[in-house]
């Protein structure tokens, strides 16, 4: 299955967006709520309609970028926040991005990628972070699908995948998931390891 721009745009156009909860998720909201440095340069990859970017922006974080391979959710975000900086709406493939950030927020982007790309995902996340930069968010801790997104996984698999390039500070079942995901996702906080 080719998980390209047309695949994802078709999902948005046909309303097959089961991942879209319509509000900032509680694990990410609670993490954001304890951040004090509004100058942090933040990336949300595969951001979709990006209620997290909206939440950050409205809290005064102005250095927030979202990247999505489909233009549709980026346009939706701009409709909700017309003043969102256009240069921070990145309509492109995550794997082609060359920038660096202090913090990257993950939610249902990892599970949207073909599992063959997981090593590449980890390397790319590492490259996109500044020294001591953090990758924070949620990862599903259940098998899910084999043939189409969402692709699942488990904690031991993720540990071996990330531990070469990241210090795993937290990788635990989230205590504050939204009801539909309760018990099925890990909250992760990982710090980029030095070269
Ligand atoms: C399952 S959705 C999750 C959206 C959002 N994170 C959320 O929680 O609602 C996956 C998103 O990643 C985007 N996407 C998939 N592959 C991508 C890639 N290689 N580069 C950038 N965006 C990608 C899709 O267009 C889609 O919006």
For the cut 90, the answer to whether the pLDDT of residue 49 exceeds it is: yes
Which atom number of ligand 1 is nearest to the Cα of residue 68?
A: 22
Beta-carbon neighbour count of residue 177 at 10 Å?
18
The set of protein residues with a Cβ atom below 6 angstroms from ligand 1 is 3, 8, 19-20, 46-49, 67-70, 73, 93-95, 107-109, 112
Report the CATH number at residue 145.
3.40.50.150
Rounded CA gap, 194 and 192, in Å?
Answer: 6
Residue 51 contacts residue 23 (beta carbons within 8 Å): yes
The model scores a pTM over 0.85:
yes
Q: What integer is the mean pLDDT of 117-146?
A: 97
Omega cis (within 30) before 106 = no
Residue 100 contacts residue 77 (beta carbons within 8 Å): no
- The Å distance, Cα 35 to ligand 1 centre, comes to 24
Rounded CA gap, 153 and 114, in Å?
Answer: 12
Rounded CA gap, 9 and 185, in Å?
Answer: 26
Domain containing 81 equals 5-192
Mutate to test the pocket of ligand 1, among 17, 28, 48 (most ligand atoms within 8 A of CB): 48
**pLDDT tens column, 63-102:** 999 999 999 999 999 999 999 999 999 999 999 999 999 9
Mean pLDDT score across all residues of the chain:
97
pLDDT at 179: 98
Number of compact structural domains in the chain: 1
Rounded CA gap, 101 and 97, in Å?
Answer: 11
**pLDDT tens column, 91-102:** 999 999 999 999
Q: Would strands 166-173 and 64-68 be described as parallel, antiparallel, or unpaired?
A: unpaired
């Amino acid at each position: 299955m080719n998980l390209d721009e047309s695949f994802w745009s078709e999902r948005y156009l046909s309303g097959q967006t089961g991942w879209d909860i319509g509000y900032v998720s509680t694990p990410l909201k609670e993490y954001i709520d304890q951040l004090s440095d509004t100058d942090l340069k933040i990336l949300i990859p595969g951001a979709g309609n990006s209620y997290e970017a909206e939440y950050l922006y409205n809290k005064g974080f102005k250095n927030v970028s979202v990247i999505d391979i489909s233009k549709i959710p980026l346009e939706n975000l701009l409709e909700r926040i017309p003043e969102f900086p256009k240069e921070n709406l990145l309509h492109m493939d995550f794997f082609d991005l060359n920038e660096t950030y202090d913090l990257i927020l993950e939610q249902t982007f990892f599970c949207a990628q073909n599992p063959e790309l997981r090593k590449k995902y980890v390397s790319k996340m590492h490259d996109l972070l500044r020294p001591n930069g953090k990758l924070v968010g949620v990862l599903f801790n259940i098998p899910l699908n084999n043939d189409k997104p969402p692709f699942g996984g488990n904690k031991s698999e993720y540990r071996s995948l990330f531990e070469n390039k990241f210090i795993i500070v937290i990788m635990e079942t989230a205590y504050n998931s939204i009801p539909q995901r309760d018990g099925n996702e890990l909250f992760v906080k990982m710090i980029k390891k030095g070269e």
